[in-house]
DNA sequence: GTCTATAGGGTGATAGAC
DNA sequence: GTCTATCACCCTATAGAC
């Protein structure tokens, strides 16, 4: 849970975040946000001017949440080896997703919009991410050259890492209804994956 | 592309499929479907009674498309070994997704709705899938017992297989904008994965 | 079957009192 | 800052002519 904000503006933002993240822009009614926040509909426009503006605030926060945890983990642990960083990243990322299970689907849905493609230069977190991805690709290429990793396009490694961490959350509704597992079993499986994914990545790509 | 249907009903269904699959139920206007189909708005209701009913038709077709190719591949190749079936399935599935790149996101989005959870018993393709998944899990458990596979929850194997095939398509917009790869490079990478994913699965789970 | 016109209801946004 | 009341628009669905 994010920190409690009892100001009216904070309540609106929290309600909007909850509903937009779960149901997306189109399926969310401003009336529902107002009701969820326990305030009047007119106040929503008083504080945020429009539904669109409010959505952009939520979008920005969710992107920061989704990418911020990666950046923080990597930046605050420069002393670790590459492999150790990956392990730590997976561990912390799965914790974050267990606390915010709707985030992956939300990110996937906004990534399909035109606005998202333009929102490049003015979001500092996206810029940091760009740099991190570049250095990540660089490290992989060096490890391929030195024979530590198998020769394969770095995007396959990044895709598989992302896939294995994020996809089960994006598809959790599907997994739960189809296989009949409970929320508790799902969480247990995701926690298991913290230890398994690093091993799998090594098995796939190490020489 | 699906087979061309020049009847009015067929034109409406094709237009609805295109727009619903790309943008989902809420973001799609019946007016847009009518325009896309080149027909009058009233005809949409004449043929399909309501937006909701039309969406359900499209949903049913997309679920069939998404699961049907798996079932067909498996059923028509009983003579192959388990590993060979997996290889064939991956190959054909990636081809299907290259032809229908919006399908994964569509399936993920409908899986999050309440209607989808109830739509269990009355869809024959979902019943077939249930049976196939059961036999799949059975085979995996037997292979674990015989020592062929590492001892791990079968859902991890299924999740990783699904993740590696489907996720890059669900996240293709993200991958393309963020890494700057072109549509052609994306397709090339996905085709590469046809041969790579079977190898990766073996590396992860074989003893 | 296909069209035009319009009903009927919901949605985002604002005016104006307090 | 917060509320009530309401506008203006958009959307789905249908009535009714051809």
Is pLDDT at A94 greater than 60 in this prediction? yes
Put simply, the answer to whether B167 touches A152 (Cβ < 8 Å) is: no
Which protein residues have their Cβ less than 7 angstroms from some atom of strand D? A 8, 39-43, 46; B 28-31, 41-42, 45-46, 49-52
Residue A33 tokens, joined: 């946000």
Q: Which residues pair with B149 in a beta bridge?
A: B206
**Phi, psi at residue B45, to the nearest 5°?**
-75, -30
- The H helix count followed by the E strand count for chain B is 11, 0
- Give the pLDDT confidence score for residue A115 in this predicted structure: 83
User: What percent of chain A lies above the pLDDT cut of 90?
Assistant: 90
- Give the pLDDT confidence score for residue B4 in this predicted structure: 75
Q: Which of A151, A178, A187, A202 to mutate to test the interface with B (most CBs of B within 10 A)?
A: A178
Put simply, the answer to whether A175 touches B155 (Cβ < 8 Å) is: yes
Residue B109's closest chain A neighbor by CA? A105
Residue B24 gets the label, from left (phi > 0), alpha (psi -120 to 50) or beta, of left
- Give the pLDDT confidence score for residue B123 in this predicted structure: 83
Q: What is the nearest CA distance from A7 to chain B, expressed in angstroms?
A: 31
Nearest nucleotide to B39 (CA to C1') is: C2
**Phi, psi at residue B80, to the nearest 5°?**
-75, 160
Q: What average pLDDT score do residues A7-24 get?
A: 98
Which bases of chain D are under 7 A from a protein CB atom? Answer: 1-5, 10-16
Is this structure's pTM higher than 0.95? yes
Residue B42: exposed, middle, or buried by beta-carbon count in 10 A (0-12, 13-18, 19+)?
exposed
Cβ atoms of residues B110 and B59 within 8 Å: yes
Put simply, the answer to whether A167 touches B162 (Cβ < 8 Å) is: yes
Q: Dihedral of CA B108/B69/A153/A88: which sign?
A: positive
Q: What average pLDDT score do residues A119-140 get?
A: 88
Question: CA Rg, chain B, in Å?
Answer: 19
Put simply, the answer to whether A109 touches B107 (Cβ < 8 Å) is: no
Residue A183 tokens, joined: 């929320």
Put simply, the answer to whether A156 touches B189 (Cβ < 8 Å) is: yes
- The pLDDT mean for chain B works out to 95
- Give the pLDDT confidence score for residue B119 in this predicted structure: 65
- Give the pLDDT confidence score for residue A22 in this predicted structure: 98
User: In whole angstroms, how far apart are CA A150 and each of A16, A139, A195, B61?
Assistant: 45, 13, 22, 41
Q: Which of B177, B180, B198 to mutate to test the interface with A (most CBs of A within 10 A)?
A: B177
A 14-33: CB within 7 Å of strand C: 28-31
Is the shortest CB-to-strand distance from A50 to strand C under 7 Å?
yes
Q: How confident is the model at residue A117 (pLDDT cuts 50, 70, 90)?
A: confident
**Phi, psi at residue B36, to the nearest 5°?**
-60, -35
Is pLDDT at B118 greater than 90 in this prediction? no
Residue B142 tokens, joined: 């037997």
Residue-wise pLDDT for B130-171, tens only, equals: 999 999 999 999 999 999 999 999 999 999 999 999 999 999
Is pLDDT at B1 greater than 60 in this prediction? no
Contacts of B181 in chain A (CB under 8 A): 155
Torsion of CA A98, A103, A104, A107, to 10 degrees: -160
**Cα-Cα end-to-end distance for chain A:** 41
Is pLDDT at B52 greater than 70 in this prediction? yes
Put simply, the answer to whether A117 touches B152 (Cβ < 8 Å) is: no
- Give the pLDDT confidence score for residue A119 in this predicted structure: 66
- Give the pLDDT confidence score for residue A149 in this predicted structure: 98
Q: If you ran DSSP here, which 8-state letter would residue A149 be given?
A: B
Residue-wise pLDDT for B96-106, tens only, equals: 999 999 999 99
Q: Which long-range contacts (CB under 8 A, 24 or more apart) does B8-13 make?
A: B8/B37, B8/B39, B8/B43, B8/B47, B9/B47, B11/B37, B11/B38, B11/B39, B12/B37, B12/B39, B12/B43, B12/B44, B12/B47, B12/B48, B12/B54, B13/B54, B13/B57, B13/B58
Which bases of chain C are under 7 A from a protein CB atom? Answer: 1-5, 10-16
Residue whose pair of structure tokens reads 């050259």 in the numeric block: A145
Nearest residue (CA) to C1' of C15: A42
- Give the pLDDT confidence score for residue B3 in this predicted structure: 63
Instruction: Kindly give, in sequence order, each residue whose CB lies less than 8 Å from that of residue B96, ignoring residues fewer than 6 positions away.
Output: B65, B69, B103
Q: How confident is the model at residue B27 (pLDDT cuts 50, 70, 90)?
A: very high
| Residues listed for chain A | 207
Q: What average pLDDT score do residues A184-195 get?
A: 98
Among A95, A106, A94, CA closest to A22:
A106
User: What percent of chain B lies above the pLDDT cut of 90?
Assistant: 91
Q: What is the nearest CA distance from A31 to chain B, expressed in angstroms?
A: 16
Put simply, the answer to whether A155 touches B189 (Cβ < 8 Å) is: yes
- Rounded, the Å distance between the CA of A75 and C1' of C4 is 64
Q: What is the nearest CA distance from A36 to chain B, expressed in angstroms?
A: 20
């Amino acid at each position: 849970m994010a920190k409690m904000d009892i100001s009216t503006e904070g309540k609106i933002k929290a309600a909007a975040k909850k509903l937009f993240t779960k149901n997306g822009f189109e399926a969310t009614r401003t009336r529902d946000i107002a009701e969820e926040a326990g305030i009047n509909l007119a106040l929503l426009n008083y504080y945020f001017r429009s539904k669109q503006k409010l959505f952009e605030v939520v979008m920005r926060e969710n992107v920061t949440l989704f990418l911020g945890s990666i950046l923080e983990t990597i930046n605050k642990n420069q002393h670790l080896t590459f492999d150790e960083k990956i392990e730590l990243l997976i561990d912390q990322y799965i914790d974050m997703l267990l606390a915010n299970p709707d985030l992956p689907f939300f990110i996937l849905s906004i990534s399909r919009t035109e606005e998202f493609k333009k929102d490049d230069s003015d979001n500092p977190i996206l810029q940091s991410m760009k740099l991190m991805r570049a250095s990540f690709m660089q490290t992989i290429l060096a490890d391929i050259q030195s024979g530590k990793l198998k020769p394969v396009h770095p995007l396959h490694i990044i895709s598989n890492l992302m896939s294995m961490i994020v996809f089960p959350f994006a598809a959790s509704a599907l997994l739960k209804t189809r296989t009949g597992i409970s929320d508790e079993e799902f969480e247990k499986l995701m926690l298991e994956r913290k230890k398994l994914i690093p091993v799998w990545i090594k098995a796939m790509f190490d020489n």
